[in-house]
Amino acid sequence: MIFKIIFISIFSLSLIWGLIRPFSSFSGRWFLRIFSVVGILSILGVDYTQKIAEFVGIGRGADLFLYLSLVTIFLFIAFTVNRFDTLNRKISTLVKEIAILSESSSYRDKD
Amino acid sequence: MFDNVYILIPIFNEERKIKSVISELLPSFKNIVAVNDGSTDSTQEILESLDVVILRHSINLGAGAAISTGFRFIQNQKNAQAVVTFDADGQHSVEDAKAFAREILLCEEEVIFGSRFIKSKSNIPTIKRIVLSVVVFFTNLLSKVNLSDAHNGLKAIKKTALKKIDINIDQYGYESQIINEVSRKGITYKEMPTNTIYTEYSKNKGQKLNNGLIILEDLFKSRSKK
């Protein structure tokens, strides 16, 4: 019982995070919401996830949860890598700009 | 003495060679731009003792970023007509740099790529030659160019072409990106032979062979960043 409470708390918090998080990507936010709701449902009663799985054409509720988990993980990795790339580009631009600005002035001083 | 052809040297931790490399260039080239790409050894102090323009990256970004910084700086120099890129590890000869500088001022082409495969093939270590051939094959195939060498640090570029070439790959793959930009933007080019000097030092400092795979990855990236 204690584990059910712990997991429901975790999924509830992730659902709240998915609802209020202002800077998250649109798709990432929705996956977090759906993932959390399905997580809560799978703990409260297997029947609920089973019905959703049947509705979307997946055999078992556990499979639905597994698929959603995998997609969420891959999306998270993809978004994280993309963010790192963006951050690297920004740092690179900044470093180049500083190099030109600082050394251009000392170069002019030499003349 | 060339005063309107700039020499651009990307540098990372070259305290052992940089002084001799620049000292050999100074009698022939008035304007040398040294981009210190976040060196952690005494490279910066050595550069400060020499009569060169120093552009300093506060952190190490990669050779592509250093070249990109240098290109941007030289574009804004009124007297610059062209730039010759030159490796800091002593692989290139000053005579080749002078030949490139003379030719870029005279020829119609906007870019001159250096090639190790036109003149002295035997000079290149065998494994390196094989890896370079693979990289050249894919570069020619993907960028629709006809080059015999794809990753030679010695090249000459007219100022007019500098403005057209946009480099956003920070590591070694920038060479492929330059070729890709030349092809895509219809910049005219030709090749000239270079005499690369492979010493134990330059072999250790130069591109590692497994960088070939990274370069190919960057080549695909540069095509996707059109």
Q: 3-state SS string over B32-67?
A: EEEEEECCCCCHHHHHHCCCCEEEEECCCCCHHHHH
Whether residues B170 and A88 touch (CB distance < 8 A) is answered with yes
For residue range A87-107, what is the model confidence (pLDDT) as tens digits?
A: 999 999 999 999 999 875 455
As a whole number, mean pLDDT of residues B136-160 equals 87
Cβ burial of B203 (10 Å; 0-12, 13-18, 19+) is middle
Residues of chain B contacting residue A103, judged by C-beta atoms under 8 Å apart: 53-56, 73
Cβ burial of A79 (10 Å; 0-12, 13-18, 19+) is middle
In this predicted structure, what is the pLDDT of residue B194?
Answer: 87
pLDDT of residue B197 exceeding 60, the answer is yes
Whether residues A96 and B65 touch (CB distance < 8 A) is answered with yes
pLDDT of residue B223 exceeding 70, the answer is no
ipTM for the complex shown: 0.82
For residue range B62-106, what is the model confidence (pLDDT) as tens digits?
A: 999 999 999 999 999 999 999 999 999 888 899 999 999 999 999
Q: Does A89 touch chain B (CB under 8 A)?
A: yes
Highest mean pLDDT among A72-76, A88-92, B166-170: A88-92
Nearest chain A residue (CA) to B70: A100
Report chain B residues touching chain A, CB-CB < 8 A: 35, 53-59, 61, 65, 68-69, 72-73, 76, 168, 170
- A21/B77: higher pLDDT: B77
